[in-house]
Amino acid sequence: MAVNLPSSSLLLPLIFLFLIFITVNGQHFTIPESTIEEIQQAFAENKLTSTQLVDFYINQIKTINPLLHGIIEVNPDARDQAKNADEERRENRGRRSLGDLHGIPVLLKDTIGTQDKLNTSAGSYALVGSVVARDASVVEKLRKAGAVIMGKASLSEWYKFRSLSHVPNGWCARSGQGVVSSLISCLQILFLVYLVLHLNCLQG
């Protein structure tokens, strides 16, 4: 289904409006600026749970993904993984470290194999429904660390390996034309401009 994108001047403020704030149990978190350490601290202080964090991201994906086409699919088991992480945290009661990634949602590119309900398709319908032999090594490590496998992120189909030259970057059959990469590039440029201006002020 085609999605009419607003102009770039309207798109950025709209995206930041959705991304910046979340309120959980009266506590405010600034998502883009929150580190894993700060999220883990919120977990430890019972201000936030993995389930609440996953629910927030699922809602964000439902809201923003029709504009960005950045996520191909969400793991149907993500909430169950988050609930298990919350239960492990309650049972542990701070007796030992569960690891920095415990209960943290992560997204994987659609070329990283996961032996679960998620597809590993390189963005192509040709591989939908195929079953990988095992989790990729990085996925094994993430699961062992207690991370929540949130879903699969889009990419240029087949990493453009089978594409004609006129196919734009960020396009894949399963999610359409992504605009995340161009937005990230714009943000990187803005950050570099800020950094140069800031350094010039310090030297001046």
Residue 153: phi and psi, rounded to 5, are -95, 155
Confidence at residue 102, expressed as pLDDT on a 0 to 100 scale? 97
Q: Enumerate long-range contacts of 159-164, CB under 8 Å, 24 or more apart.
A: 159/111, 159/122
Residue 14 has pLDDT above 50, yes or no: no
171-172/148-153 β-pairing: unpaired
pTM across the whole model: 0.73
Q: Give residues with Cβ within 8 angstroms of 29, minimum separation 6.
A: 21, 22, 23, 38, 39, 42, 48
Q: Give residues with Cβ within 8 angstroms of 181, minimum separation 6.
A: 169, 170
Percent of the chain residues past pLDDT 70, beyond the cut:
70
What pLDDT, in 10s, does the model give residues 30-65? 655 688 998 999 999 998 999 999 998 999 899 989
Span between the terminal Cα atoms of the chain, in Å? 53
